[in-house]
Structure 1
């Protein structure tokens, strides 16, 4: 017989948003069940030092996520190692089916599945992740004070990352495979007015160069004639976009044209009452651990208020005690 577990608050995904939502929901005596997914802790698990988390002068990403998970469990969250493969938001309670075959139902759902950076797909890029290759200038720009870095991309994100990095770096190369940028005119004007930024037009990164531990440069290939050249840099920032992990909810929740879940202004509430979205699944502007955690808090508080006004859902739910199956 297929195992089924019911929760008042079902949290799909982990990371700062999911774990914070779990802590707040558990402290509200809502007995949350959290499905951690394939990569518990999310993007921070591939981050080395984190120096912008309040209260910690320096902490590694994996350490911070482990502490969050431990706290969520300590206050009463049932953490489940499973990956949701299917959801049905048309029925009440809501249904989610795991890769394990287990069926999870929830009177409310908090979506915290995050987003992932788009990478160049180079083996050398993967090798130097955490050693000079990054997808977040706000997170890692501080480490490049007085140094030289490169940014890859041609949209608003790439231009904004390059401009931000000039607060720290002595020199910033912006590498773009075409001869014109996609960024808006205001950003382009700011870019061209900044003497620290040098454009590398009609070029793509062919290889990330390093000494085995850290980045020392990039090999770039001309998109015009295929010629190769090298640029000495201490860090490479890939800014070619992010993909929100929202394919599970396609056709069931309102999203923008990039796949980010749309929420009500000043809220984490989605187009389906009782379903909330927190973190990078709905935030394509800030994408920070601290803002994701804040949204996780909001989602848990909104779920609590929703449940207070919809007790009939919990009464009608089957198997309210099935959480014991997780012990």
Structure 2
């Protein structure tokens, strides 16, 4: 099956949904292709407090509002897992082909990739078999399963501290484990974590092994990076927030990625392949936030509109 559009957006997070608004309002026949629920990382964020005009709102609510807006001007939501993009880097007017896992082919002269990033694994013994059995990468999704239990959060950035505070709504104790002594987070997040009586911050340690009883996580081995001493924490839940990698495997044949796999784009969010754009966390950039993602999506859609209508 082949479906044709003017503008295809791969990914329905904040960047993709914003691009859908701008492109469809401008009159482009637009579709968003998404393999999961719309919203991206908003769905995994308990509280958004840095979106201008809204002091505080659940991430899921903002995602729902954005999705409703993104389709209000005619943009279509298509389900699909993209496995490859075929594009002629020398002919800017040629149709690009977006191939999906189920065999569906989408065609459009302009394509925006807004697939974001995927959480990085710890790569330690016991991790793979315990994902979903005590290991979770989404506190909002799974926090309630750990009511009155002890859990550990891995990482010292904004996500780890904010989600640790959220987990105190359920867990009896939350241990934040940091490799270093320096936080990589905003001061407001640091202050909130330090002030919470249910949170213990353990610095200069790394996780080395996840323990289980055959059905569920029941412990975590950690090692002091300075003394090499080991200890075991009795925890039922483990929430790693140690970074993420871009979801760009389907672009490897197009030479538009840097060494880390992020898309390289210009100020119009366009790659070296004409009318192939990147937006949001998937791009090579310094700040990955909702506000920067929507900025990217708007710029890309507007640039595509002008070039398609020229």
1:242 alignment partner, one of 238, 241, 244:
244
Tell me what 2:204 maps to: 200
1:174-189 correspondence to structure 2 within 5 Å: none
Structure 1 residue 275: Cα displacement: 0.7
TM-score normalised per structure 2:
0.72
How many angstroms apart in 2 are the aligned matches of 1:288 and 1:247?
A: 22
Q: Which runs of 5+ in 1 are unaligned?
A: 173-196, 209-217, 310-327
The C-alpha deviation readout for 1:105-160, integer Å capped at 9, x for no partner, is 11100111111121434543318723484878435746759x98624456xxx955
Tell me what 1:321 maps to: none
Structure 1 residue 170: Cα displacement: 3.0
Aligned: 1:124 with 2:144: no
CA RMSD of aligned residues (A): 3.8
The C-alpha deviation readout for 1:269-312, integer Å capped at 9, x for no partner, is 11101111000110453221121111111111111122133xxx
1:56-71 correspondence to structure 2 within 5 Å: 56-71=54-69
Aligned: 1:161 with 2:159: no
2:74 alignment partner, one of 71, 76, 101:
76
1:87-236 correspondence to structure 2 within 5 Å: 87-90=85-88, 92-120=94-122, 121=127, 123-126=133-136, 129-130=139-140, 131=143, 133=153, 137-138=157-158, 141=161, 144=165, 150-153=176-179, 159=182, 161=184, 165-170=189-194, 199-201=203-205, 203-204=206-207, 206=209, 219-222=220-223, 227-230=230-233
Instruction: Work out whether residues 136 and 239 of structure 2, in 8 Å CA contact, stay in contact via their aligned partners in 1.
Output: no
Instruction: Work out whether residues 137 and 240 of structure 2, in 8 Å CA contact, stay in contact via their aligned partners in 1.
Output: no
Structure 1 residue 30: Cα displacement: 0.8
TM-score normalised per structure 1:
0.69
Tell me what 1:268 maps to: 269
How many angstroms apart in 2 are the aligned matches of 1:160 and 1:170?
A: 12
In structure 2, the residue corresponding to 1:49 is in which secondary structure? Answer: coil
Instruction: Work out whether residues 148 and 171 of structure 1, in 8 Å CA contact, stay in contact via their aligned partners in 2.
Output: no
In structure 2, the residue corresponding to 1:251 is in which secondary structure? Answer: helix
Tell me what 1:280 maps to: 281
In structure 1, the residue corresponding to 2:287 is in which secondary structure? Answer: coil
Tell me what 1:191 maps to: none
In structure 2, the residue corresponding to 1:303 is in which secondary structure? Answer: helix
Q: Which runs of 5+ in 2 are unaligned?
A: 144-150, 167-172, 212-218
Tell me what 2:41 maps to: 43
